[in-house]
Amino acid sequence: MTATDLITVRNAGITGRITVNLPASKSISNRLLVMRALSGGALEVENLSTADDTRLLDAALRTNGNELWMGHAGTALRFGLAWAAVTPGVRTLKGSERLSQRPVGPLIDALRTLGADITCTEREGYAPLRIAGRNLKGGSLTLDASVSSQFITALMLIAPTLEGGLELNLSGKPVSTPYLRMTARLMRSAGVEVERTDTRIFIPESTYAEATVEVEPDWSAASYFYTAVALSRDLEVELLGLSAKSLQGDAAVADIFNRFGVDTRFTARGALLSASEIFDDSDSFDFLSCPDLAQTVAVAAAGLQIPFSLTGLQTLRIKETDRIAALAAELAKCGTGCKAEPDTLHIRHFSDVSDMPSIATYHDHRMAMAFAPLALALGEISIEDPEVVTKSFPEFWAEMGKVLQVVR
């Protein structure tokens, strides 16, 4: 392993107030990119994310070529697949080995029901995919909402282009519902009517109207600085641009960390985080609506040595890595014993660590970012493959370097 494959982060004893610049929301940006492409340029997007996932999707939607590279980006693959199905031309979507292991079968089946021409060139239900785009008729579909909200969002985004519009009937226990609310609100901001309940979504045939939408700062990125305040206790962090009135479900991090002793106060500049009394009165939290916060909270609980159970994690098995297994393995290096179940992670046992742990990131940006603040509790840790953070937060190490000493 070379120096570029590993960095060390240390507790530098930084106190007082620091100000953090957050990246633009990747989730909002990726939805707006598809909407912009389908609007024929009528929609303008300001403050677009510079994350790898957004760059990949943006490039795919703009290219005149017939081979679209999606890297590790599951969102880009799913949204790009739906866009390609309704956009004239023949395209092949492919990505990394891990991306080819992430299932997209339910979305493929739904699009084929609408008349899409999609071929799985290696394994049914997985990338690489060959799509011959064409005009599709709408209709009524039933979709399992317990698998991935991104399948539903992908269909919502193309629904206005479908002849007769689209009715989605949702079965099963829905996951990540705040992301569906986000999609609906963004589409409405661009003049598209969306009727949505917990079990049904109807979007009539229409067009995206001329509009300008500014992307919010990313609440998922903000979560790692909540851990820093929880573990430091002598630090205030100002997160510029955050608002209490957010489209993002991960704004729930403010309420979650309140029980871990972090107070959030909103100002004209953003959110100001400061230490408060730790008063956790429960030992569990259901992450079904905000799965991207699970790694952050697991690491914070470990650092604070608070026994905690994280439930509602079923979608974490099919992310950039099996995040439940990865968390259990890496927390063990940090003296925290976990019990992993299919959709739950129990954090229960704590012991001292004699050697500096080296955290494997499994090509997963959130593993690197979630574990970095743990240096405040352990003194120092090493993070392998640190540049994986560019998937969602290219400036992460520069911003976290305001809280920790980062040694490359």
Active-site residues, by number, are 292
Provide the β-strand partners of residue 275. Answer: 262
Q: How far apart are CA 178 and CA 157, in angstroms?
A: 16
Q: Is 106 exposed, middle or buried (0-12, 13-18, 19+ CB in 10 A)?
A: middle
Q: How far apart are CA 131 and CA 144, in angstroms?
A: 23
Q: How far apart are CA 21 and CA 399, in angstroms?
A: 7
Residue 112 in tokens? 């084929």
Q: Is 354 exposed, middle or buried (0-12, 13-18, 19+ CB in 10 A)?
A: exposed
Q: How far apart are CA 292 and CA 25, in angstroms?
A: 13
What residues have CB less than 8 Å from 34, skipping those under 6 apart? 57, 61, 79, 82, 83, 157, 158
Amino acid at 38: L
